[in-house]
Amino acid sequence: MSAIQHISTGRRIKDSLVQCLVYLAFFLAVVPLISVLWLVISNGLARFDLEFLTHSMRNITARDVGGGAYHAILGTLEQVLLASLISVPIGLLTAIYLVEYGNGGRLSRAISFFVDVMTGVPSVVAGLFVFAFWILFLGMPFSGFAGALALSILMMPTVVRSAEEMLRLVPNDLREASYALGVAKWRTIVKVVLPTAFTGIVTGVMLAVARVAGETAPLLMTVFFTDSINEDPFNGPQMGLPLFVFDQAARPNDTAVDRAWTGALTLILIVMLLNLVARLIAWWRAPSRGR
């Protein structure tokens, strides 16, 4: 009896030790995040006003108090939207092929290998590729679309891997039940598999959006700088929030640095808002909600 009690006491001690290690790891992971958020919020609230959200930097010098990031906010939204329109369909179709049609063949293995390689590609390499091919080789101008092409290269592997994992989680019983009713495979994928995995796919897409929304290096080589509002992403330089923060933070005066902090805060809020919208869409389309 004493031996059993000794073993039980040892297990409780080990369990408590592991719990302490888990809590410590959680604390170490959360503290940097909270400190960064606190620093950005405390420094960015000083200029977070209506003028900052509705005005550009046209005819505003570095030392002027006014000015805003409307042109950069508009550019970021358009560039991320275009990147999503390019990468999400391609990434989703690639994931569908890998899960539903690949069957571990040579082509599917090659695609998986290149997706893994693209996952580790630095963002500056994607920007250099678009700069060399789109701007130098084809002679296209600096534009928001060129930046969107670079961002889509970075988004695609994240979309592929997240969608692939969500599609693999769909039970095969659902597919087999659909096949037993005589439903074609493509229709089973569209009507059964994709709706079941919809919530996870949306989450993966938002992770990809958050991954590229703050990228600066690809935009430096493809979008260029401008202080004016450019609503056409296909023609001429178009500012983005990461570029706006980079440009203002590099200027040696407090007013520009304040605008940089507020630009960083705005970028964080935009990503949080997009994630909230995605969560609401996923909740609305969740299968359990219809029961």
> pLDDT tens digits for the chain (291 residues)?
455 555 677 788 888 899 999 999 999 989 988 998 899 999 888 888 888 888 888 888 777 778 888 999 999 999 999 999 999 999 999 999 998 887 777 888 898 899 988 888 888 999 999 999 999 999 898 999 999 999 999 999 999 999 999 999 888 888 888 888 888 888 898 888 988 888 888 888 888 888 888 888 899 889 988 888 888 899 888 999 999 999 888 887 888 888 999 999 999 999 888 888 887 877 776 655 544
Q: Output the DSSP codes for 106-137.
A: HHHHHHHHHHHHHHT--HHHHHHHHIIIIIII
* Lookup result for tokens 């969107």: 148
Listed residue (274, 268, 222) closest to 243, CA to CA: 222
pTM of the full structure: 0.86
